[in-house]
Amino acid sequence: MISVVIPAYNAEKTISLCLDALMAQTQPPDEIIVVDDGSSDATARIVQGYAVTLIQQSNQGPASARNAGILSAKGDIVLFTDSDCAPDSHWVERMTQPFSNPEIDSVKGTYRTHQTRPAARLVQCEFEERYQRLEKYKYIDFVDAHAAAFRKKAVLEVGGFDPAFPQANNEDVDLSYRLAAAGKRMVFIPDAFVYHQHPDQFIKYFRLKISRGYWRMIVYKHHPGKAVNDTYTPQVLKLQILLIYLAAAALVFSLVYPISLILFAGCAIVFLLTARPFIRLVQKSAPDLTLLSLWFIFIRAVAFSIGIIAGIVGMFLFRYQILGHKET
């Protein structure tokens, strides 16, 4: 059996698009489960209009909601998507095909978008950058929950999603790393996609990336080896973040030692060189945004730099509130 689980919180504006898309699948799932995570809007009422299973709980976060869904699921294969995603009509079919190989434990799909605003289109280019990296690997170590499929047994063996994550942010990274550490095999299927509404303003994107950087550091505390390398994060991004730190330090020191501006200039030049692959990607898929792509890369690196510092502080000052049950 195949089950689809959707965590939902105040999703009245998007849940119908998600469920309509799942109802139109070329390979319909055996069951669809929506876990209403304490919504205060009309989410539950809308879901009740569909032939799906509705689970309601107090607001505990998407990790907890997904766990409730997977425990309730009858299928031995469980797919996850989000309430603001609309799966392509072939999504279930393509996500489940790899499980014909009994060695496969999890499958990762992709994002696409219909949005036309520059910020959202550049966000899609960023995902394409990461997809290019994933396609180089036979097996991957990251499956994000917006388009994910798991053998139920494999997820339960590693303890499910960690409910200590209070929001939809890196809880799927943590689960993926635990699956990888347990020797579970995960694969990437680029043509299994869902449509999504990306941040369509640069300020929204900037804030999101600060948050991503923060929570990724929390994850790295428990999976330190992944800070060095994984199959999803471009290594050049880590270099760009380092260059931001060096450039900021050079500017500060230049107030006393003007020669430090040479280091700043050097960082700027190297940063431009590291941005070339992404700029070329944008030139192919969104040529009208080529000039804007450098600005996009810059604010991404700055946002992550801020988030990483905040995350390091969080690891030590707030460790009992964040993933506290994992502390020894």
Q: What is the mean pLDDT of residues 10-22?
A: 97
Q: What is the mean pLDDT of residues 128-134?
A: 96
User: Quick one: CA dihedral 316, 318, 321, 322, positive or negative?
Assistant: negative
pLDDT, tens digit (0-9, with 9 covering 90-100), for 136-180: 999 999 999 999 999 999 999 999 999 988 888 899 999 999 999
**pLDDT above 90: residue 226:** yes
Helices of type H across 166-234: 171-181, 202-222
pTM: 0.91
The strand pairing partners of 187, in sequence order, are 107
What pLDDT sits at residue 316? 75
Task: Using pLDDT thresholds of 50, 70 and 90, give the confidence band for residue 262.
Answer: very high
The three-state DSSP-derived secondary structure of 128-180 is HHHHHHHCCCCCECCCCCCEEEEEHHHHHHCCCCCCCCCCCCCHHHHHHHHHH
User: Domains in the chain, please, with CATH?
Assistant: 2-199 (3.90.550.10), 235-326 (no CATH)
Angle at 145 between CA 200 and CA 29, to 5 degrees: 110
Q: What is the mean pLDDT of residues 35-50?
A: 96
pLDDT, tens digit (0-9, with 9 covering 90-100), for 62-120: 999 999 999 999 999 999 999 999 999 999 999 999 999 999 999 999 999 999 999 99
Q: What is the mean pLDDT of residues 20-35?
A: 97
The fraction of the chain above a pLDDT of 90, given in percent, is 92
**pLDDT above 60: residue 59:** yes
Task: Using pLDDT thresholds of 50, 70 and 90, give the confidence band for residue 244.
Answer: very high
Task: Using pLDDT thresholds of 50, 70 and 90, give the confidence band for residue 318.
Answer: low
Interacting residues of 51 by C-beta distance below 8 A, sequence separation 6+? none
pLDDT, tens digit (0-9, with 9 covering 90-100), for 181-225: 999 999 999 999 999 999 999 999 999 999 999 999 989 988 999
The fraction of the chain above a pLDDT of 70, given in percent, is 97
The crossing angle, in degrees rounded to 10, of helices 290-317 and 235-254 is 80
